[in-house]
Each structure stands twice: as C-alpha cells, then as structure tokens.
A and B are shown apart, each in its own frame.
Chain A
Amino acid sequence: NAGVTQTPKFQVLKTGQSMTLQCAQDMNHEYMSWYRQDPGMGLRLIHYSVGAGITDQGEVPNGYNVSRSTTEDFPLRLLSAAPSQTSVYFCASSYSNSAPLYNEQFFGPGTRLTVL
C-alpha cells in the first residue's frame, strides 16, 4: 500500500493564481480531511469528507474548495491564492471517524505552499 499520497511536495504561486493540491489514499478509507499547519497554530481543519459525495467545512474553510467524487481522491482547490495561504498542507484519512477502534488518522507527507 502506498498509504496517503500528496502532490506536489512544493509549490510557489503568485497572488491570485489558482491551483489544486492532490490527495489520494489506497486503503479504502471513508474519512478524509485537509489540514493546514502554521507555526504556533498547530493543525487546523480546512475541509473534511465522511464518504464519497459528502464534504463539510472545518475550522478554516474560506478560500478553499473540495470535492469527493471517489473514495480514493480528495483534492483541495485554492480559488485565488493569497499570501495568508502560505502554509504546509496535510491530507489525512481514516477508516471511519465513528468507531474508536478504527479512527486512527493516516497522514500524507505534506505540501509546502508559498504564495508571493
């Protein structure tokens, strides 16, 4: 199993550009989520999905869109990049968030995004 994969690893954007961060998992996990990690702020939840076709907002959703057309993929779209979106982005998945035995989250390696 490849686990959770993210592409690209690094990206530099100019203000106003749009792009999609890719996330895929091959563990047949129902639950997927996107976090951003900023110094001194820990991890903040952007969007999450409890299954294909279902998405919901997290703590900091503004400026980001997601979709979940398949169980495997959960892309994160930046609509019009801003310097405040400079961060490290992590995708994570788990079998289920509703059963204690199975709700370990598996994280991807991250995407480091810089917006100039």
Chain B
Amino acid sequence: GDSVTQMEGPVTLSEEAFLTINCTYTATGYPSLFWYVQYPGEGLQLLLKATKADDKGSNKGFEATYRKETTSFHLEKGSVQVSDSAVYFCALSDWNRDDKIIFGKGTRLHILP
C-alpha cells in the first residue's frame, strides 16, 4: 500500500542554518504531496503542497519539489529561525485511488538561538 517515510528526529540546528528534512513515498497512483507543521500545543496546519511531478511548493521560506523519479518531497529552508521549532509531517493523498491521507511519523525540529 501507499506509504510515507521521513527522517527521524529530533533535528537540532543553530539559527540561520540550512535545513533539509527528507521525505520519500510509495504510491501506485498520482498522489498529491504535503508538508504539515505542528507547533507546540496546536493542531497541524498545512505548510505547503504539490499536486504533480516537478511542482515546487513554497511558503514562509520553506520549499519542497515533487520528484517523481526519486519518489521524494524533501523539505528545505535556507536560514531557519527559532520560531521554526516544531514537528513537521510529510503526507500524501492518492486521490485517484482511495479517500485516505497518509502521514509520515513526523520530524521534530529544534532551533537553537
């Protein structure tokens, strides 16, 4: 079945460092791909998404490119801030196949001042 695998955390970086959180997926159809962020004590909220191959999603300085050839959707940011400390979830929705959205296990990010 469809699945999402993302790098395990926690990831600890200093402020202004470059961030990459890896995400790979398995799907037989044509999924949409998402990154959600969960700040402490809150629910998840959509950070960015891409709906087809080679699409780049971007928001708040974060970017991710839908790579069908490597089945990846890695999250990147050029210069992280303390306020980026949160848990990040990669997810896919194979809308042509069924009604479920599948989440990765999440990666906790700590940014040190």
Contacts and interface: CB of A to CB of B under 8 A. Distances in A.
Q: Is A bound to B?
A: yes
Interface string A80-107: 0000000000101000011111011111
A108 B42 CA distance: 8
Contact of A58 (B51, B52, B100): B100
B103 A100 contact: no
A90 B43 contact: yes
Contacts of B49: 104
Given A31-B99, A48-B99, A97-B93, A41 B105 contact: yes
Nearest to B31: A100
Contacts, number: 61
Given A48-B100, A108-B43, A103 B93 contact: yes
B43 A100 contact: no
Contacts of B100: 45, 48, 58, 97
A63 B22 CA distance: 34
Contact of B95 (A40, A45, A92, A97): A97
B32 A103 contact: yes
Contacts of A104: 34, 46, 49
Interface residues of B, number: 21
B95 A99 contact: yes
B63 to A, nearest CB: 18
Nearest to B4: A42
Nearest to A109: B43
A: contact size bracket: 20 to 34
Contacts of B46: 104-106
A35 B38 CA distance: 14
Interface of A: 4, 31, 33, 35, 40-43, 45, 48, 50, 56, 58, 90, 92, 97-101, 103-110
Given A92-B43, A103-B95, A105-B101, 20 more contacts: A4-B43, A43-B89, A43-B103, A45-B101, A50-B99, A92-B44, A97-B93, A97-B95, A97-B99, A97-B101, A98-B95, A100-B51, A100-B52, A100-B95, A103-B93, A104-B49, A105-B46, A107-B44, A107-B45, A110-B43
